[in-house]
Amino acid sequence: MLSQRLTRVALVTGAAQGIGKAIALRLASDGLKIALNDIQSKGDQLEFIAEEIKKSYGSEVCVFPGDVSEERDVENMVETVSKSLGSLDVMVANAGISGSLTSILETSKYLSKEQWDDVLRVNSKGVFLCYKYAAKQMVAQGRSGGRIIGASSVAGKQGMTHTSAYTASKFAVRGITQVAALEFGQYGITVNAYAPGAIESSMCAFGPSFTPRDIPDVHETAQAANLSASPVGKAFSNSLPSFSTLGKTGDIAGLVSYLASQESGYITGQTISINGGMYFD
């Protein structure tokens, strides 16, 4: 039997920056072949990360731009990855957006119906499509051990002010993950999600001027210097216990590394909090 290091393939969506990039780098360091996905406009960033992976880890890596909210894009991506790299063993449905962060009473001004739909389409439908087509491919491969992992949030565990669309989308990920775990378990596939809290990044701070396609995810927008500059940031800041700090993208990548491993086979249907103690399940 070929070793896990030589045979397993991981597809990471939303991999152009932040948590997605950290996950891709970590899984490459674990010895997996890596497929990188993000929207078309971030193709150059994906190519740069691909070169970094090749130079740092010698891993086989491919880039597959596409929109996870478009069914044809996801279907084609999974099919192409499987043919190009030989299989699909780990799907990390990381791609997500926060949209404009505003109170429900101000959504008419800052969050249009189209923007609301965009958040749900990317964060919930996108995860659903990635789960669906990854599982179909894993079942077709005829071997157990598939790992499907999605991105939820602390906002998917407990509602937060000014995040109605985002919170709804991340609660949905938890439900989809549980249903998929029940349905895919018979094929030896586990399905789990991670729920980050405030994760440090070089992105800008929270604010109502954000548009859905401008920023990847609420977790990517936290900065230690200005976390409390907005209502959402204040909610994050006030929820952190005195001993805690902002997390690092590598913290999330480490959890995903374990969930993607063969050793995690007895864990399924879970949305695991990784938030420095800001919220207890």
The percentage of the chain sitting over the pLDDT mark of 70, rounded to a whole number, equals: 84
pLDDT at site 260: 98
Among 41-45, 163-167, 208-212, 265-269, which stretch is predicted with the lowest mean pLDDT?
208-212
pLDDT at site 201: 63
Residue type, 231: P
CB contact at 8 A, 22 and 46: no
Q: What is the mean pLDDT of residues 64-77?
A: 98
pLDDT at site 236: 64
Of the segments 127-136, 209-218, 271-280, which one has the largest average pLDDT value?
127-136
- The angle subtended at Cα 65 by Cα 4 and Cα 171, nearest 5°, is 80
d(CA 13, CA 184): 20
Active-site position among 157, 170, 266, 279: 170
Question: Active site includes 166?
Answer: yes
**Half-sphere exposure (CA, 13 Å, Cβ side) for 231?**
11
pLDDT at site 222: 44
| Residue labelled with tokens 């937060």 | 160
Q: What is the mean pLDDT of residues 87-106?
A: 91
d(CA 257, CA 147): 11
Q: How confident is the model at residue 213 (pLDDT cuts 50, 70, 90)?
A: very low
Q: What is the mean pLDDT of residues 255-272?
A: 98
Q: Has residue 6 got a pLDDT over 60? A: no
Active-site position among 131, 166, 194, 279: 166
Question: Active site includes 170?
Answer: yes
d(CA 21, CA 15): 5
HEC string of the chain equals CCCHHHHCEEEECCCCCHHHHHHHHHHHHCCCEEEECCCHHHHHHHHHHHHHHHHHHCCCEEECCCCCCCHHHHHHHHHHHHHHHCCCCEEEECCCCCCCCCCHHHHHHHCCHHHHHHHHHHHHHHHHHHHHHHHHHHHHHCCCCCEEEEECCHHHCCCCCCCHHHHHHHHHHHHHHHHHHHHHHHHCCEEEEEEECCEECCCCCCCCCCCCCCCCCHHHHECCCCHHHCHHHHHHHHHCCCCCCCECHHHHHHHHHHHHCHHHCCCCCCEEEECCCCCCC
Average pLDDT of the chain is: 87
Among 16-20, 225-229, 254-258, which stretch is predicted with the lowest mean pLDDT?
225-229
d(CA 257, CA 43): 24
pLDDT at site 106: 84
- pLDDT (tens digit, 9 = 90+) per residue, 151-193? 999 999 999 888 899 999 999 999 999 999 999 999 999 999 9
| Residue labelled with tokens 């690092």 | 248
Nearest to 220 by CA among 44, 97, 43, 58: 97
CB contact at 8 A, 79 and 72: no
pLDDT at site 223: 41
Residue 91 phi/psi, 5° resolution? -110, 125
pLDDT at site 162: 86
Left, alpha or beta for 200 (phi > 0: left; psi -120 to 50: alpha)? beta
pLDDT at site 214: 37
Beta bridge partners of 199: 247
